[in-house]
Structure 1
Amino acid sequence: MGARTPVTYDHHDHVPGPYLHGTRVELSPGDELVAGCSSNFQEGRVSNHIYFTTLESTAAWGAQLAAALAGVEGRGHVYVVEPTGPFEDDPNVTDKRFPGNPTESYRTRAPLRVLHEVDDWHEHPPEALAAMLDSLAKLREQGLDVIED
């Protein structure tokens, strides 16, 4: 396996799509997700970036966690999106928690345009979701739920 090429605002064209975004929000084709809105993951926090991935399982975590943390019924939504500008590796996971970015998580300050919803995505089992929520709660209690944004 060759060396991983970091994804930066100046060097991101080597990342093939499709690009996916998981959220609690119901969207329509053509809608744009923009930075400067409330975070799905920290109450009272404004997000300076929009986060996305190329992996269904990562997008599923985004959708399920966003829905659960907001107290929304259901599993959330996964969308195929199109970045409208440059993007970079998500520093919250790349080499900080998961060396080499195996979650294929990225972020951008430019809008993401919704192309269509993915109806047949596979959600994580309820016990895995509960364990992830417990882990997030412990990080919050310890003051370690820092998001570099």
Structure 2
Amino acid sequence: MSTNQGSAKWNGGLKSGNGSISTLSGALKDFPYSFSNRFEGEKGLNPEELIGAAHASCFSMALSMMLEQAGMPPEHVHTQASITLDKDGDGFAVTKSHLDVIARIPGAEAQKFEEIAAQAKAGCPISRLLSCEISMAAQLEA
């Protein structure tokens, strides 16, 4: 079993306040975030961006493992996760995570790759954590 930790501090009101995010590993230490980063398009970190990075990295590792187990070791897997935050009643909800995947696997059969990618999408730990719709477009790179 592995236990990891992330923490956040928030100061002040929602729109006028600001916060910082840290991880136990120190990869993020007091990294700033704010309402405007999340809801007004201002450049900067926000929770959905972190979820996207977590989903993309988890999926990429799961897919690489499953491809290797199937005798199709990838040269590389590049994944981008797009997280959708929608208005939900009086609040907001993460409603979708879309994975765009490009993998280079010499000699791979497209149908087998797509089957394994679908299994990785369903089975990676972050996919299993998310209760939103998860879609994917996976392609082999020539």
The TM-score range, normalised by the shorter chain, is under 0.3
- What TM-score, normalized by structure 1, do the two folds share? 0.26
> When the two structures are superposed, what TM-score results if normalisation uses the length of structure 2?
0.26
Q: Which structure has the highest strand share of the two? A: 2
Q: Computing the radius of gyration over CA atoms, which structure comes out larger, 1 or 2?
A: 2
Q: Which has the bigger relative contact order, CA under 8 A and spacing at least 6?
A: 1
